[in-house]
Amino acid sequence: MLRIHRLIITVVLFLSFNVFAAININPGLTGAWYNPETSGQGFFIDAIAENQQLFIGWFTYLSNPQSNEHQWYWLTAHGNYIDGVAELTLVKTTNGQFDMATTVENTVVGHASISFDSCLTAVFDYQLDEFNLAGQIPLTRLSPDVYCAENLNSEPSDPLAKNFPPVVSQVVITQLNNAIQIEYDLTDSEADRSEVNLEVLYGLNSSYSLPVTYLSGHVGYPVLNGNNKTIYWDYLNDSGFQDLQIDQFKLKITADDKYVSTLQDIIDSVSEERIIEDIQAIEGIRHHQAFPMGLNNTRNYIKAEMSKHKLLVEEQTFIHLGSQGVNIIGTLNAQPATDEVYIIDGHYDTVSSTPGADDNASGTAGMLEAMRVLSQFNTMKNIKFIAFDKEELGLIGSRYHAANLNQNELIKGLINFEMIGYTCSGQPECVNFPNADTSIYNIKSSFANTLSETFVQIGATHVPELKITAVTDDGDRNFRRSDHAPFWDLGVDALFLTDGANFRTPHYHQTTDKLGTLDTTFTTQVVKTAVGTLATLAQIHHTGYAVSDTLEL
């Protein structure tokens, strides 16, 4: 119906198409829309705010695969919209006569979804089951932009606020007569469009990326959020595949929502304000006898902060001298799944008489902030964020954890934040302290280098303000005074990051260990460097994967 006028809008379309800030659906989008690349792909769209309903109607010409008849149909799509996406039911209406009281027949013929990039562009994603058709139509607004309000969009502008990678699930592959059909579900928390690609996995460790030439349906870019996506693969004509001469394989589906951040962006999103808030919340005696309530409140705070993010949050409890200890573990599971894990930790307990801002609210806050930043991404390795208990009683929580590892878990590395808050330079209180400087001590085991070297390199490149003193364990007892030690004993590449404790701060284990004495800019720089290190080693990405079962041809 709609290839009429205003072709000027065509110019706007593909220019703005790469900007994926999907907007919330609002009544201002009501009007005529069309695909300028084809003749006659036009829709009337009505967004009804009162009941959050979207209605789309159009006439079209379709071939019925059963009868092979070509025919005009009146099709409608209707359903609810939530934020930026409407999930729609497709209905065909037949019979009836103009201006006559005849009965029309409505039949559900498939489903669709639509989302809007802006007031001028949208993607309509359809599956017309009855006609064996599926695909996507990029749409441009034809009606004048009367009052479409992009500012009704409530998406947070801070990229860290939330953008989660897409999730691919429910992959089912079926061999048809002359094609392979791949069905899957695609979920993205922000309804971002994704680029979907397929890979054949075969043999022990081989793979073949499918060229889009032989694929049709919900593949390539853009694919909208939604369930029951379908791809058809013309595998018989795919010569690259035929050359492999394999008769059994799996298919891996990858969805990338094109959310791009550089390592520097990620590092820079570490927030000093949030670290200060954490230290304020945690500061105070946290001791099982002197003030168990302080310990308990801190546990609740850590669990609550972890639970705000996409983590599996668990408690690991143990008994030490009749009192219960609790390690709090937040796990960011890798995509795809793996046994390999990195750990970042800080202990949250104190000795009986100190508010423990530096020892070790600073380390706990650092671990929590690293958790907030890194949990925005998918990773190729699991990351565990651990708050250890009863460190001050002899590394009890970390020893218990190290002695009770999951059998199929391979720890690739551990970063232990043990007092990362205090710097001391030129102040009178520093005079008695031999290493009264402003660097972070990066103390590694004698048998592994990767973590330490990566930390130094990331620091030099991305956080040049941070001074790093790299040290290797030479058996000095002081190097074993925190939660990394039980992991060194297991042969783990564990890094002990410390401001030097009693060798630097006069407030060590004193009533004066308070936030006001700390250099939280320094703490933030240490956390930034650790975040960059883990982002690199655990290989963060913004892609979701799923792998099908094996298909035998």
Q: Would you count residue 389 as binding Zn ion (CB under 5 A)?
A: no
Residue numbers 437-456 binding Zn ion by CB under 5 A: none
Interaction of residue 360 with Zn ion, rule CB under 5 A:
yes
From the CB of 416, what's the least distance to Zn ion, in Å? 10
Find the shortest distance in angstroms from Cβ 449 to Zn ion.
25
The nearer residue to Zn ion, 209 or 511, going by C-beta atoms, is 511
**Mind spelling out the 3-state secondary structure of 35-85?**
CCCCCCCEEEEEEECCCCEEEEEEEEEEECCCCCCEEEEEEEEEEEEECCE
Indicate the residue among 375 and 416 with the shorter CB distance to Zn ion.
416
Write the single-letter amino acid at 128: L
Q: What is the Cα–Cα distance from 34 to 30, expressed in whole angstroms?
A: 13
How far, in Å, CA of 269 to CA of 176, rounded? 48
Using rule CB under 5 A, residue 505 touches Zn ion:
no
SS3 70: strand
Binding-residue total with Zn ion (CB under 5 A): 2
Q: Select the span of 21-29, 182-190, 358-366, 526-534 touching Zn ion (CB under 5 A).
A: 358-366
Out of 238, 345, 358, 359, the residue judged to bind Zn ion by CB under 5 A: 359
Q: To the nearest whole angstrom, how small is the minimum distance from the Cβ of residue 153 to Zn ion?
A: 46
Beta-sheet strand order (sheet of 323-332): 312-320, 323-332, 382-388, 340-347, 410-418, 494-498, 440-444, 468-472
Using the minimum distance from each CB to Zn ion, give the nearer residue, 23 or 281: 281
> Which residues in 259-357 belong to E strands, given as ranges?
312-320, 323-332, 340-347
87 binds Zn ion (CB under 5 A): no
Neighbours of 302 (CB within 10 A): 27
From the CB of 326, what's the least distance to Zn ion, in Å?
17
Q: How far is the CB of 277 from Zn ion (least distance, A)?
A: 21
Name the token pair of 94.
């037949």
CA distances from 394 to 302, 369, 398, 403, 411 (A): 22, 26, 9, 14, 22
Report in angstroms how near the CB of residue 452 gets to Zn ion at its nearest. Answer: 20
Q: Segment contacting Zn ion (CB under 5 A): 133-141, 284-292, 335-343, 352-360?
A: 352-360
Helix, strand or coil, per DSSP, at residue 480 = helix
Give the shortest CB-419-to-Zn ion separation in angstroms: 6
- CA angle, 35 as apex, 31 and 38 as ends, to 5°? 140
CA distance linking residue 219 with residue 319, whole number of Å: 53
Q: Does 483 bind Zn ion (CB under 5 A)?
A: no
Task: Pick the piece of the chain touching Zn ion (CB under 5 A) from 315-323, 355-363, 368-376, 456-464.
Answer: 355-363
Phi-psi region of 400 (alpha: psi -120 to 50; beta: other; left: phi over 0): alpha
Instruction: Name the token pair of 107.
Output: 């039949």
166 vs 284, beta carbon nearer Zn ion: 284
* 298 near Zn ion, rule: CB under 5 A: no
For residue 287, what is the DSSP state? Answer: B
Which of these ranges, 78-86, 253-261, 360-368, 447-455, lies near Zn ion under the rule CB under 5 A? 360-368
Closer of 26 and 362 to Zn ion (Cβ) = 362
Q: Which stretch binds Zn ion (CB under 5 A): 254-262, 357-365, 424-432, 461-469?
A: 357-365
Question: Where along the sequence are the contacts to Zn ion (CB under 5 A)?
Answer: 359-360
